[in-house]
């Protein structure tokens, strides 16, 4: 079925289209807006995201300016300009809800990871909701909006702790040239560096 009719396609076709789009890509670049809600309190941020297979990512925030979240495929680094502190943890041990997006390229398999899919048309796009199969993940449900070309326009992640992390994506580029240096964390001058993460600081 042609991508132009994606919104009318069966669920299996939609999911396969999204998987093929991202699993065949080696790099991705996109602008994002992020809204994090916990216990009735919300925070909205935005910036620029780069992904590179396997497991590398760089969240470079323009709001708040200077905030940075980097994965080199093995470790996760988070820098907060407000505290002038940088933190490091192993990617597999990180409970940050951004960490699963590091595997968006190359390992996306909806039927293996999710169950109980529901779909709703949204104009030319399609809204999809799914629950995770494992309760060991830091999140239990995802909602996303898929465009007719199988790109993900919007993503909402519901955490086990009842937090909600919501993304809107714009200007997506598949396979742009991305230098390895983007995924190497450099400690800002004068910043404190720690290797252990407090529970609250793991949050976006």
pLDDT of 198 > 80? The answer is no
pLDDT of the residue at 2: 41
Report the percentage of the chain scoring pLDDT > 70: 84
- pLDDT tens sequence across 23-50: 899 999 999 999 999 999 999 999 999 9
CATH class for domain 3-202? mainly beta
Residue 65 has pLDDT above 60, yes or no: yes
* Single pTM value for the model: 0.82
Distances (CA, A) of 151 to 3, 6, 51, 60: 10, 11, 15, 21
Residue 156 has pLDDT above 70, yes or no: yes
Residue length, the chain? 204
Q: How far, in whole angstroms, is CA 131 from its chain's centroid? A: 17
Average pLDDT of the segment spanning 74-79: 92
pLDDT in tens, 96-105: 656 656 556 6
* Three-state secondary-structure class, residue 82: coil
Domain ranges of the chain: 3-202
DSSP string, 3-19: GGGGGGS-HHHHHHHHH
DSSP assignment letter at 56:
E
The torsion defined by the Cα of 72, 74, 80 and 84, in degrees rounded to 10, comes to -100
Give pLDDT, residue 3: 42
**Residue 122, pLDDT above cutoff 60:** yes
């Amino acid at each position: 079925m042609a991508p132009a009719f994606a919104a009318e396609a069966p669920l299996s076709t939609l999911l396969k289209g999204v998987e093929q789009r991202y699993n065949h890509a080696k790099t991705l670049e996109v602008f994002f807006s992020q809204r994090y809600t916990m216990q009735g309190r919300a925070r909205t941020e935005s910036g620029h995201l780069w992904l590179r297979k396997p497991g590398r990512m760089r969240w470079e925030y323009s709001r708040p300016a200077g905030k940075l979240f980097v994965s080199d495929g093995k470790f996760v680094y988070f820098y907060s300009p407000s505290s002038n502190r940088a933190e490091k943890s192993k990617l597999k041990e990180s409970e940050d809800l951004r960490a699963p997006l590091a595997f968006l390229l190359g390992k996306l398999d909806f039927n293996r990871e999710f169950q109980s899919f529901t779909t709703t048309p949204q104009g030319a796009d399609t809204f999809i909701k799914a629950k995770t199969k494992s309760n060991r993940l830091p999140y239990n449900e995802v909602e996303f909006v898929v465009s007719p070309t199988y790109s993900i326009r919007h993503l909402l992640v519901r955490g086990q702790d009842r937090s909600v992390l919501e993304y809107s994506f714009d200007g997506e580029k598949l396979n742009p040239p991305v230098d390895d240096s983007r995924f190497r964390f450099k400690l800002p001058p004068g910043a404190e560096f720690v290797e252990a993460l407090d529970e609250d600081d793991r949050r976006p």
